[in-house]
Amino acid sequence: MTARIIDGTAIGKAIREELKAEVAALRSRGVVPGLTVVLVGDDPASHVYVRMKGKAADELGMKSETVRLPADTPEVDLLALLDKLNADRAVHGILVQLPLPGHMDSSKVLLRMKPEKDVDGFHPVNVGKLVIGDPSGFRPCTPAGVQELLVRSGADPSGKHVVVVGRSLIVGRPVANILMQKAPGANATVTVAHTGTRDLAGITRQGEILVVAAGRPEVVTGDMIRPGAVVIDVGVNRVADAAAKNGHRLVGDVNFRQAVEVASMITPVPGGVGPLTIALLMRNTVQAARQAS
């Protein structure tokens, strides 16, 4: 068996194309969805992500702004900026790019944003709305992207046993909450495991759908996957590779070379979940603009 590759780039592009019509409809009413990304410091990966988000917003006809602050910016100044953005009616979505410098409290920064502008979906109000199934809240972009990948690739999770490896607030727990909802594209039986789970391989082999967000490179090997399972690899890890031009390569949390011989469908790294994260951020921003207008 050789797994079919789930093309996240193509699925993300399809979602953005769908959003163009809604953005055009809002603009016809004088509402231009506005996203402001705040970047503190000089983390190279963060700069790449921010550029990609800005490009996606511009292509959709949205208003995009990036505010760059030096790494030594006092926390109080960042909080004051968030107060200003909260009050700006032209700004519908705010995203503070993580990680923040060590002298800043990410929780305090998150709580300073208005929930109705938290398009990353991590404010406690939005987390609560996710848990109770309130569609007015914003779903975290990567977990929501996992659901889109499954549904749009023909692997509807309804009635399936989904095993999620990872319990983080960013991916593991929210994706479990999304997929267990009594709703279209969900309605799954969900087991949450993690790297501290006893007999992890015995659990992962039960999953008809396996979502891996463990934060460890290639921790899930081929013998841990149920034959014919659908595998969604959320991990992005940089590992040394002397044969690579730049001395490293990107791998997921799943050993792709082994998994592709066992699974029925699998996401690549890169080109799997990543493009969906950006597409769903755009969708959340459009939703914020719609709900504010």
Query: For residue 74, what are its two tokens?
Result: 């006092």
* Residue 102 and residue 159 in one domain: no
253 given a catalytic annotation: no
Mean pLDDT value of segment 146-155: 98
Q: Is residue 284 pLDDT above 90, yes or no?
A: yes
Cα–Cα dist 90/19, whole Å:
19
Residue-level pLDDT at 11: 98
**pLDDT tens sequence across 44-76:** 777 788 889 999 999 999 999 999 999 999 999
**pLDDT tens sequence across 220-255:** 999 999 999 999 999 998 888 887 888 888 899 999
The strands making up 34-40's β-sheet, listed across from edge to edge, are 63-69, 34-40, 93-96
156 given a catalytic annotation: no
In a domain, 202, yes or no: yes
Q: Which of 97, 118, 129, 147 is catalytic?
A: 97
Q: Which of 7, 118, 120, 233 is catalytic?
A: 120
* Residue 75 and residue 148 in one domain: no
Cα–Cα dist 279/231, whole Å:
20
* Residue 82 and residue 194 in one domain: no
Residue 179 is part of which domain span?
141-274
In a domain, 123, yes or no: no
In a domain, 124, yes or no: no
In a domain, 260, yes or no: yes
Cα–Cα dist 74/89, whole Å:
25
In a domain, 243, yes or no: yes
Domain count, the chain: 2
Residue-level pLDDT at 93: 98
Among the candidates 114, 149, 178, a domain finishes at 114
Q: Band the pLDDT of 31: cuts 50, 70, 90.
A: very high
Among the candidates 98, 114, 130, a domain finishes at 114
Query: What does each C-alpha distance from 284 to 19, 23, 29, 92, 293 come to in angstroms?
Result: 10, 12, 19, 10, 14
Q: Which of 53, 117, 129, 160 is catalytic?
A: 53
* Residue 154 and residue 108 in one domain: no
Q: Is residue 272 pLDDT above 90, yes or no?
A: yes
What CATH number is attached to the domain comprising 160?
A: 3.40.50.720
What CATH number is attached to the domain comprising 78?
A: 3.40.50.10860
**pLDDT tens sequence across 196-206:** 999 999 999 99
In a domain, 40, yes or no: yes
3-state SS assignment for residue 75: helix
* Residue 49 and residue 108 in one domain: yes
97 given a catalytic annotation: yes
Cα–Cα dist 133/202, whole Å:
31
In a domain, 97, yes or no: yes
- For the chain, what percent of residues have pLDDT higher than 90? 89
* Residue 56 and residue 176 in one domain: no
